[in-house]
Structure 1
Amino acid sequence: MSSIPEFAELLAGATKSAVHLEMRDVYFANPRFHAWTDGERVDWDDRASWWRPYHQTVADAVARGVTVRRARIVSEPVTDYIAWEYFQTRANVEAGEVVRWLPRHQAWDLLLPGTDLWIFDGRLMRVHHFSGDGEWISKELCDDAAIVGQHAAAFEQVWQRAIPHDQYEVK
């Protein structure tokens, strides 16, 4: 595939489901993470201060009947970045995502993809590539039914073991 649509376009085209698998303990740094490490906290009562276009894109998809699930495989004790993601996950949940966490030591016997990914309607996969320090490198699409099916099956194995966000405790 020569041109890779942006995430919002891919999610807008989904009719049933979008699943996201995250497996890194550190992603690229951003100003919101640094503000959090400096002690700033989101005022959850001031939605305009934290609601982003991403959240609206998810909320729109969920309103159309698309189920959006995110599973995160994390090392414990968690990194500062994952602790921040855990804190920020409230925004994802309020947008309509269902989020679960799987401690890495509970995933040792699963055959997992080599990188983070999104799968839309079980038929199209967007793969994310990062450098060792978590910087974004590139993305690619895959619509090969066999490959997407293998990755979708891996996601479902993670999902079955993972702990719902409201029950997971950051360690």
Structure 2
Amino acid sequence: MAQSLSNFTDLIRSVERSAVHLEMRDVYAIPNEDERFAAWRQGHRLDPDDRESWWRPWLDVVQEITAKGVRLRRARIVSEPPSEYIRYEHSFTFTNVAAGEEIRWLPRRLSSGLALPGNDFWLFDGRLVQFNVFDGDGHWVHTDQTDDQATAGLCSDAFEAVWERAIPHDKYTA
């Protein structure tokens, strides 16, 4: 299934209690990040005091939904030493935290023994799972959604197991 940013924004705005996101890849090839990634490679870093320069409109949506009481958590399973992309991602994650997301990092070596789904996912209100499927080079392929309760339970358990072991963003160094 193809999904537009506006469809996803509508979906996350419909959340009433919680949204969790598990990311398990070391590289994402997201076309709208190409310029920012290239600038980061050349030494550009986001200024913590210049909120207007941060990633919009996503951070506005994060602020909106967390202000209405939705708990938004993201966990990232990463190889160490981290890939260049993960170091880039880590460099601006403070903006997500400032907007209201809770973010933790789990070194991949600490994930052995955890039952994990095969794809990154979002879990909305513990009932709707959205899998984001990527190819081997990190390009988004498609999105699958299910409200199957067994699948939602598996994803919830996997996320909570990762969350319990993971390191809060302010304590993790990439």
Query: Which of 101, 104, 111 pairs up with 2:115?
Result: 111
Look up the equivalent residue of 2:147 and give its one-letter code: D
SS in 2 for 1:159: helix
Matched with 1:159 is 163
Matched with 2:36 is 32
**C-alpha displacement of 1:71:** 0.2
Look up the equivalent residue of 1:115 and give its one-letter code: N
Aligned alpha-carbon RMSD (Å): 1.4
How high is the TM-score relative to the length of structure 1?
A: 0.94
Q: Is the 8 A contact 2:74 2:102 kept in 1?
A: yes
How high is the TM-score relative to the length of structure 2?
A: 0.93
Distance 2:99 2:113 in 1: 32
Q: Is the 8 A contact 2:2 2:142 kept in 1?
A: no
Distance 1:24 1:48 in 2: 29
Q: Is the 8 A contact 1:4 1:140 kept in 2?
A: no
| Residues 1:140 and 2:144 aligned together | yes
> How far does the alpha carbon of each residue in 1:100-135 deviate from its partner, in whole angstroms, 9 at most, with x for none?
000000001111110100000000011101110101
Q: How does 1:41-120 map to 2 (within 5 A)?
A: 41-120=45-124
Number of aligned pairs? 169
Matched with 2:22 is 21
Judged with a 3 Å threshold, the aligned counterparts in structure 2 of structure 1 residues 51 and 132 are, in CA distance, closer, same or farther, namely closer
Q: Is the 8 A contact 2:27 2:85 kept in 1?
A: yes
Matched with 2:173 is 169
> How far does the alpha carbon of each residue in 1:46-86 deviate from its partner, in whole angstroms, 9 at most, with x for none?
21111411111111000010000000000000001000111
Q: Is the 8 A contact 2:131 2:144 kept in 1?
A: yes
Distance 1:160 1:43 in 2: 30
Distance 1:73 1:92 in 2: 17
Q: Is the 8 A contact 1:70 1:98 kept in 2?
A: yes
Please list every run of 5 or more consecutive structure 2 residues that lacks an aligned counterpart in the other structure. none
Please list every run of 5 or more consecutive structure 1 residues that lacks an aligned counterpart in the other structure. none
Distance 1:151 1:166 in 2: 25
Q: Is the 8 A contact 2:45 2:91 kept in 1?
A: no
Distance 1:61 1:120 in 2: 12
Identity of aligned pairs, percent?
Answer: 51
